[in-house]
């Protein structure tokens, strides 16, 4: 599958998969910025994508940043819809007690292209019964 991208900034890095079996491709910052301890910011990528109909781009944290430094994508996974043509920005949050300095060109998140299905919603007074029923929030075990 080919995905068209547009560079909106000269510092933008074309995404690529790090290994042949990678599901996610890296997204990079176009700016030097500091993410303070406990803060959240929008980090610009300088890229716009043309996602095909029936697909989305999910924005996910990088596992190494999450484990080693407490840096994550706040609305994980974020969704870039197929009809959005603006710049992709990454909402990062710093869960650590230390500031995190982001350098221009640094890998800050990963994107995954995935197929989506839109549902037809039917209003009903009755839903089928299941063993779980209305149990939620840990009702099936922790």
Average pLDDT on 119-127 reads 96
For position 131, what pLDDT does the model report? 86
pLDDT interval class at 135 (50, 70, 90): confident
Task: Look at residue 142 and tell me whether its pLDDT is greater than 90.
Answer: no
Residue ranges per structural domain of the chain: 4-115
Using CA atoms, how far apart are residues 89 and 91, in angstroms rounded to an integer? 7
Which CA distances in Å does 117 have to 11, 92, 114, 121, 134?
34, 27, 10, 12, 25
* One CATH from 2.60.120.260, 3.90.79.10, 2.70.40.10, 3.40.50.1260 for 4-115: 2.70.40.10
Token look-up 């800050």 returns 108
Greatest alpha-carbon span in the chain = 56
Cis geometry, peptide bond prior to residue 16 (ω within 30 degrees of 0): no
Q: Angle CA(134)–CA(136)–CA(140) in degrees, nearest 5?
A: 105
Using CA atoms, how far apart are residues 69 and 108, in angstroms rounded to an integer? 12
Model confidence over 48-106: pLDDT tens digits? 999 999 999 999 999 999 999 999 999 999 999 999 999 999 999 999 999 999 999 99
Q: Which two tokens stand for residue 37?
A: 């301890």
**Coil, strand or helix at 67:** helix
For position 123, what pLDDT does the model report? 97
């Amino acid at each position: 599958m080919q995905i068209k991208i547009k560079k909106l900034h000269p510092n933008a890095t074309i995404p690529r998969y790090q290994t042949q079996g990678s599901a996610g491709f890296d997204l990079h910052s176009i700016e030097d910025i500091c993410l303070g301890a406990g803060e959240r910011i929008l980090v610009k990528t300088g890229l716009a994508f043309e996602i095909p109909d029936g697909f989305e781009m999910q924005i996910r944290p990088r596992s190494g940043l999450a484990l080693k430094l407490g840096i994550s994508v706040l609305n994980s996974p974020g969704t870039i819809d197929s009809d959005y043509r603006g710049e992709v920005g990454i909402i990062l949050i710093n869960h650590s007690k230390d500031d995190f300095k982001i350098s221009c060109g640094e890998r800050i998140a990963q994107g995954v292209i995935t197929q989506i299905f839109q549902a037809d919603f039917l209003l009903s007074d009755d839903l089928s019964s299941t063993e779980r029923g209305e149990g939620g929030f840990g009702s099936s075990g922790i």
